[in-house]
């Protein structure tokens, strides 16, 4: 009997192997079969991973450090915050903005807009890491309303609105500022190709290649430049490179000299804080570039481009670093910038040095607030050490500080020549000592004769 049982068991295992390898569902009394079916169904229902995926939900551990920096306050753009109660007031205004958008030209109507957005639906969904529960019609409706709203807001803001047409809800400056803050959040984005495509439908006469200054890409850059979020409106990239507004802002701030390919020899190098560097003889100067990342070490000077610290600064930096963590982990310029500045700023006294040198134009509070802005970041953003952008500068600064002669020269200069009075006193003392030595020598020579 035992031999027969073993034979049947072996036969049973062979059959199980067949159905597992072919993916067929094998039905018998084995209690593992429901589990197998459940897991197989779960695997089969997995959506494909898209290379376009670039709009993410901020992880809880990061969001908890500053909830407001990642959460829209006025308007929901895209599916991640769609339908939230505190954003419903703006939803009532979006149809009016769609109506105004449709009135710009006879070449676009509601039917054509719906048709093209439906054509873009699958690609649009692929931009979001989190699958939307909205069905096809609701998703297309949401994309169309949100896109036309953004386009119309930018158009009115830059070129004024049609005579006799009220800007209603957004007529108040505080809401315009809040809206600008909401459209730079990584969770509150639309695919840029949708915005640009609809803009080109409504404004075909000014979106042609012969007038690139009126492209949607340039209008977006000018819009953000008005709020000081972009410092240089020169366009050095094409719209095909832009994923969404946060990605656009990152492209606008990339350094003039990009990093080389990743190398294991390019590691993260922390530097001394601003006070220590100053005591060693380093002078801080506002750099000539409009790009935040164009930091230079020239002789005894550390040139850092000016950063305007305003209500947009922290949300912008936080959302840029989230984008880099998820989408540009090996090309994280802003994460590197945050760690460089954190090394430089330990306390409010370090922040004061950068404020006094013009590197920071501060509108967010005292120097303690400025220091806290950078000191909180390193706990939240992961640094890819083997490709640290500021490695070369950091190594030169550390080498300069390690040279004791530089510190001695700086100490001597600080103690004896830091003010005109000290310089005069030191010079007088040196002259007096010199005259005394000369007199002593003359006396000795005279006595020897």
Three-state SS for 360? strand
In this structure, are 21 and 77 located in the same domain? Answer: no
For tokens 């006070």, the residue is 275
Q: What ranges make up the beta strands (E) of 344-392?
A: 360-362
Neighbours of 248 (CB within 10 A): 22
pLDDT of 1 reads 45
263 lies in some domain: no
The pair of three-digit structure tokens given for residue 309, joined into one six-digit string: 């610290």
Tens-digit pLDDT profile for the chain (449 aa)? 444 444 444 444 444 444 444 444 444 555 578 888 888 888 887 767 778 899 999 999 899 989 999 999 999 999 999 999 999 999 999 999 999 899 887 778 999 999 999 999 999 999 999 989 999 999 999 999 999 999 999 888 877 655 445 555 565 555 778 889 999 999 999 999 999 999 998 886 554 444 545 789 999 999 999 888 998 887 788 999 999 999 999 999 998 777 765 555 567 888 999 999 998 889 999 999 989 999 999 888 999 999 999 988 999 999 999 999 999 988 899 999 999 999 999 999 999 999 999 999 999 989 999 999 998 876 777 776 578 899 889 999 998 888 655 554 545 455 544 566 655 565 666 677 766 777 777 777 677 66
159 lies in some domain: yes
Neighbours of 393 (CB within 10 A): 16
Three-state SS for 336? helix
In this structure, are 105 and 228 located in the same domain? Answer: yes
112 lies in some domain: yes
In this structure, are 139 and 11 located in the same domain? Answer: no
In this structure, are 174 and 290 located in the same domain? Answer: no
Q: What are phi and psi of 89, to 5 degrees?
A: -60, -40
414 lies in some domain: no
Q: What is the dihedral of CA 75, 79, 80, 84, to 10 degrees?
A: 50
Task: In whole angstroms, give the CA distance from residue 309 to residue 344.
Answer: 16
In this structure, are 210 and 278 located in the same domain? Answer: no
- Name beta bridge partners: 398: none
The pair of three-digit structure tokens given for residue 283, joined into one six-digit string: 């002078």
Percent helix, percent strand, percent coil in the chain, to nearest 5: 55, 5, 40
Evaluate whether 285 touches 302 at the Cβ level (below 8 Å): yes
What is the tally of structural domains in the chain?
4
268 lies in some domain: no
In this structure, are 375 and 432 located in the same domain? Answer: no
Task: In whole angstroms, give the CA distance from residue 345 to residue 375.
Answer: 7
In this structure, are 109 and 244 located in the same domain? Answer: yes
In this structure, are 215 and 166 located in the same domain? Answer: yes
In this structure, are 379 and 344 located in the same domain? Answer: yes
pLDDT of 158 reads 79
Burial-class residue 163 by CB neighbours within 10 Å (0-12, 13-18, 19+).
Answer: exposed
Cα dist from 256 to 47, 152, 272, whole Å: 39, 33, 25
In this structure, are 25 and 101 located in the same domain? Answer: no
Q: Which domain does 438 fall in, by range? A: 420-449
375 lies in some domain: yes
pLDDT of 160 reads 64
258 lies in some domain: no
In this structure, are 67 and 32 located in the same domain? Answer: no
Evaluate whether 175 touches 72 at the Cβ level (below 8 Å): no
In this structure, are 92 and 239 located in the same domain? Answer: yes
pLDDT of 412 reads 43
66 lies in some domain: yes
133-145: burial string, b at 16+ Cβ within 10 Å, e else = ebeeeebbebbbb
Residues in the chain: 449
């Amino acid at each position: 009997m035992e031999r027969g049982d073993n034979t049947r068991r072996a036969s049973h295992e062979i059959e199980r192997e067949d159905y597992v390898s072919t993916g067929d569902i094998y039905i018998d009394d084995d209690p593992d079969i429901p589990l197998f079916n459940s897991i197989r169904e779960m695997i089969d229902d997995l959506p494909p991973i898209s290379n376009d995926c670039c709009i993410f939900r901020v992880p809880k551990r990061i969001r908890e450090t500053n909830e407001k920096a990642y959460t829209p306050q006025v308007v929901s753009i895209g599916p991640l915050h769609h339908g939230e109660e505190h954003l419903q007031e703006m939803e009532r205004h979006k149809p009016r903005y769609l109506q105004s958008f449709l009135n710009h030209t006879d070449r676009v109507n509601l039917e054509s807009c719906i048709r093209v957005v439906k054509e873009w639906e699958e690609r649009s969904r692929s931009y979001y890491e989190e699958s939307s529960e909205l069905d096809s019609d609701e998703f297309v409706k949401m994309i169309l309303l949100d896109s036309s709203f953004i386009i119309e807001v930018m158009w009115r803001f830059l070129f004024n609105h049609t005579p006799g047409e009220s800007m209603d809800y957004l007529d108040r400056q505080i809401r315009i500022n809040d809206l600008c803050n909401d459209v730079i959040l990584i969770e509150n984005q639309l695919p840029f190709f949708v915005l640009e495509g609809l803009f080109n439908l409504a404004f075909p006469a000014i979106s042609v290649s012969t007038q690139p200054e009126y492209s949607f890409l340039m209008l977006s850059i000018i819009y953000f430049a008005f709020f000081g979020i972009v410092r240089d409106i020169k366009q050095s990239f094409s719209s095909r490179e832009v994923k969404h507004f946060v990605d656009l802002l990152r492209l606008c701030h990339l350094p003039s000299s990009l990093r080389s390919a990743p190398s294991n020899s390019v590691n993260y190098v922390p530097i001394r804080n601003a006070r220590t560097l100053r005591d060693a003889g380093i002078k801080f100067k506002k750099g000539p570039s409009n790009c935040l990342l164009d930091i230079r070490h020239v002789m005894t000077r550390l040139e850092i481009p000016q950063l305007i610290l305003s209500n947009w600064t922290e949300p912008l930096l936080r959302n840029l670093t989230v984008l880099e963590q998820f989408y540009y982990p090996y090309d994280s310029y802003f994460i590197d910038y945050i760690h460089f500045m954190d090394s430089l700023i330990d306390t409010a006294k370090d922040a004061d040095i950068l404020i006094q040198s013009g590197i920071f134009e501060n509108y967010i509070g005292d120097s303690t607030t400025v220091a806290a802005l950078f000191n909180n970041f390193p706990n939240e953003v992961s640094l890819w050490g083997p490709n640290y952008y500021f490695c070369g500068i950091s190594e030169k600064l550390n080498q300069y500080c390690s040279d004791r002669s530089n510190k001695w020269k700086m100490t001597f200069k600080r103690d004896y020549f830091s003010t005109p009075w000290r310089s005069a006193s030191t010079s007088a003392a040196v002259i007096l000592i010199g005259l005394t030595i000369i007199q002593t020598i003359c006396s000795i020579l005279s006595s020897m004769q």
